[in-house]
Amino acid sequence: MNILEIINKKKNKELLTKEELSFAFNGYDKGDILDYQMASLLMAITINGLTEEEVFNLTEIFIESGEKISFEGFDYVDKHSTGGIGDKTTLIVAPIVAACGIPILKMSGRGLGHTGGTIDKLESIKDFKINLSIEEIKESLIKNKIVLVGQSANIAPLDKKIYLLRDVTSTVESIDLIAVSIMSKKIALGAKNIVIDLKVGNGALVKNMNDAYLLASLMKKIGTKFERNVSFIISNMGNPLGLTIGNSLEVLESIQVLKGNGAYDITNLSLVLSAKLIEMHKKIDFKEAFMMAKNALDKGLAFNKFLELIKNQDGILGSLTRAKNEMVIYSQKTGYITSIDAYGLGVEAKNIKAGRATKEDIIDYQVGIELHYQVGQLVKEDQPLATVYYNEVKPNEEKILKCFKIENEKIENKLILGVINYDSN
């Protein structure tokens, strides 16, 4: 078998057998296939796609590349987001769900493309332990009902290597590769009930509703094949979520949400995602589940659970800081904000080191952008639109200002674009 033949087959839109996929991907995992060869194959897949059979086979190859977690007689849930600008919902949803008595295990990744990664956010908390053994995960789930960890070297390790390569080879938007990446980790983690926050818009990996439904359909089919219940909340990522972009800033904002002082969009989406997990686990009506989630937030139970999580995984919350330098971006006119370019702000945040341009880049956890207004709000001339916190790299004020569109007419920012439920029968 030859890697060049495999690349050529996919370049020519031919079906790859499970043996060929295994040869290429497991060969890359072992170091027999080089970065540039795998990058070529990933690009061919991104352009020409995979069949359902290829997707199922590649998902299984990813799962079988490492260990699988299964705690007999112990039921827990999982949540995933396809990624977006300012998306810190995991830091809010997991404590809410755990505060409702439901164990939640979330294994998260690092930033991908222009989007932020939950693990990068957690690592902005000094000494927070993102690597736990399976024994430690089980102990924490039983004791605290909440575990947030990085992708273990033993859980779908092949995906971790491919994930990093996709990030720097313009292959992050392949629907098939997104589905394989997400579902291989979810299945290996063992949760039976999974909620996917599927983000759509210019700030997300998925740009339009058609692709969103294609991705959801594919992930649901993978879930069915591997006996998992998967529901989807399709949410708008045309504008940033919440008021902050950048790792420390997003953790600090999550704390404000958990204290009941968060922006409406991030608060409401977090409650909807939490309610969907509660509904699936407890098999109750969504409205009842939503009230349970809101009660956990309003009474401070979720914030207390967040503090338990940080303490249990050795983190020091007081270590969170912003970068020393500030640049304030002022509005040049009076009017309603009709759009905020999520992708543009994500790129500018990455440029000041809030994200990675290469696999080797080191993130600056302190830098980022804080918004003072959201879509639909009235801003007056010379009022601050945003504050940029930076260290080494000075922000591009002109490019950031261009991300804000201000007009005379007010518009509604619709957040929830669709819901796809699991098949309860």
Active site residues: 80, 159, 166, 181, 185
Q: How far apart are CA 243 and CA 257, in angstroms?
A: 11
Is residue 156 a contact partner of residue 188, using CB atoms and an 8 Å limit?
yes
Q: What is the DSSP string of 268-302?
A: HHHHHHHHHHHHHHHT--HHHHHHHHHHHHHTTHH
Q: List C-alpha distances in Å: 123 to 126, 130, 157, 316.
A: 7, 8, 20, 11
Helix, coil or strand: residue 72: coil
The candidate with the shortest Cα–Cα distance to 78, out of 218, 178, 170, 197, is 197
Q: How far apart are CA 221 and CA 182, in angstroms?
A: 13
Q: How far apart are CA 224 and CA 414, in angstroms?
A: 30
Q: How many CB atoms lie within 10 A of CB 237?
A: 31
Q: For residue 405, give the H/E element and its range.
A: strand 404-407
Phi, psi dihedral angles at 12 (to 5 degrees): -95, 15
Phi, psi dihedral angles at 229 (to 5 degrees): -90, 120
Q: For residue 343, give the H/E element and its range.
A: helix 342-351
